[in-house]
Amino acid sequence: MSKDKVILAYSGGLDTSCILKWLLEKNYEVICYMANIGQDEDFEAARQKAKKLGATDIVIDDLRKQFVEEYVWPAIRAGLIYENRYLLGTSLARPCIAVGLIACAKKHAAKYISHGATGKGNDQIRFELSAYYLCPEIRVIAPWRDAEFCAKFQGRQDLLEYASKHGIPVSVTPKAPWSMDANLMHISYESGILENPNTEPPQDLFMMTQSPVKNKLLHPMRFTIEFDSGCPKSLQFSFDKTITDPLEMFLELNRLGGQYGIGRIDIVENRYVGLKSRGVYETPAGYILHVAQQDLEVFCLDKEVFRVKHQLMLKMADYVYNGFWFSPEGNYVGECLKMAAKNVTGSVNIEIIPGSVIVLGRKSNFSTYNENLVSMDKHDDFSPQDATGFINIQAIRLKEYKRKMQN
């Protein structure tokens, strides 16, 4: 009888290498799937490692373009932010990877997928809900929730011993006392010493951004970000450089934002599984784009549409965080948010200084901002006398209430 095929989301690290070996021991045929979503990884070395360990095949999938255009751009367009601060860098990557993983599973007629996400985290949920949506028949092997696997590997030491026993090469670099997850949108750091929410993250933790204190002498840097229907369209510098390719634009903003130490946050957040956890994130390009988008959005959107859209954004941020990017509600609210952004077209002038993004001005042909109407020196179509009626009518309810309460 032929073996059951598993597509393993493989990173080349200790955990997924042990999982690979363990799946092979369990008599599965394993195809390793590696998504390039912009993390700093030696994919070729990982391929060799997986090959050597016994993987039938290793698929390396460059998803960077899709990730930026189909996940990051809609998130920027919607102004997605979780619990007021987190820009959802990891949450957005998971459904993107799941699409690649499921496509791979379908191509190889594999019944199973597997991943190395832990059992207390959000990522297992995001991976699996995306996978179940994309392919309701798929089956998931989650070793970190498997009783037998968990019994076998109770800590890092067990993994190291297993690795040593099975010839799994282990990086000589000592492991940092925290875990990290990287993609081109952000790096997140958690666990280890960060589990104490009152412990300051050490400065050598940050890998995408440089310290704004160390780089405090940097001169301010200016550029203009143009948006079309809510999505970034171009990045313009005064010295006649303009970038329009989404991936290129994003990487350039990462480079600049990284140099200026922009987009670092240190937060406690509520996980979907009901735990509070502490995370440190750096999202240089994402943060710059978010600041610009927020500025242009309120400029272009009608006041009431802005409010409805904001409610939908809050919903969508929870959906995405919780793993429902692909879902009836994710589809629906995503479409509504896209519709809301159709007039968010224009440009924002930005200055970055160490640690900060400053908005200098904005323009748009779609805003109802009317310089003449708002001017204190002109009346245009606005009759100040009307405000008296407006206020008096608004006051009726308040007066009646107060009078009633006084009785």
**Looking at the annotation, which residues are catalytic?**
15, 94, 123, 179
Residue 165 contacts its own copies per CB under 8 A = no
Tell me which residues in 82-121 interact with its own copies (CB under 8 A). 83-85, 118-120
Kindly state the smallest distance separating residue 232's Cβ from its own copies, in Å. Answer: 18
Given candidates 11, 209, 277, 345, which one binds its own copies under the rule CB under 8 A?
277
CB 283 within 8 A of CB 253: no
Tell me which residues in 310-329 interact with its own copies (CB under 8 A). 310-312, 314-315, 318-319, 323-324, 326-329
Tallying the residues shown for the chain, one arrives at 407
Kindly state the smallest distance separating residue 1's Cβ from its own copies, in Å. Answer: 25
Tell me which residues in 249-268 interact with its own copies (CB under 8 A). 264-268
Given candidates 61, 181, 226, 269, which one binds its own copies under the rule CB under 8 A?
269
CB 313 within 8 A of CB 83: no
Kindly state the smallest distance separating residue 81's Cβ from its own copies, in Å. Answer: 9
In the block, residue with structure tokens 């007629």? 109
Kindly state the smallest distance separating residue 312's Cβ from its own copies, in Å. Answer: 7
Residue 139 contacts its own copies per CB under 8 A = no
CB nearer its own copies, residue 35 or residue 352: 352
Residue 242 contacts its own copies per CB under 8 A = no
Tell me which residues in 367-406 interact with its own copies (CB under 8 A). 367-371, 373-377, 381-404
Kindly state the smallest distance separating residue 326's Cβ from its own copies, in Å. Answer: 7
CB nearer its own copies, residue 103 or residue 359: 359
Given candidates 52, 106, 197, 244, which one binds its own copies under the rule CB under 8 A?
197
Locate 324 and state its tokens: 């429902």
Q: Which of the stretches 5-13, 24-32, 244-252, 350-358 binds its own copies when contact is defined by CB under 8 A? A: 350-358
Spell 34-68 as b/e; 16+ CB within 10 A means b: bbbbbbebebeebbebbeebebbbbbebebbebbb
Kindly state the smallest distance separating residue 245's Cβ from its own copies, in Å. Answer: 26
CB nearer its own copies, residue 61 or residue 128: 128
Count of Cβ atoms closer than 10 Å to residue 31 Cβ = 22
Tell me which residues in 291-310 interact with its own copies (CB under 8 A). 294-295, 298-299, 302-308, 310
Tell me which residues in 203-222 interact with its own copies (CB under 8 A). 212-213, 216-217, 220
Give residue 218's Cα distance to chain centre: 28
Locate 274 and state its tokens: 């009901």
Backbone angles phi, psi at 273, to 5 degrees: -80, 5
Given candidates 27, 171, 196, 238, which one binds its own copies under the rule CB under 8 A?
196
CB nearer its own copies, residue 79 or residue 246: 79
Spell 2-14 as b/e; 16+ CB within 10 A means b: eebbbbbbbbbbb
Given candidates 147, 171, 238, 239, which one binds its own copies under the rule CB under 8 A?
147
Kindly state the smallest distance separating residue 350's Cβ from its own copies, in Å. Answer: 11
Count of Cβ atoms closer than 10 Å to residue 177 Cβ = 12
CB nearer its own copies, residue 34 or residue 138: 138
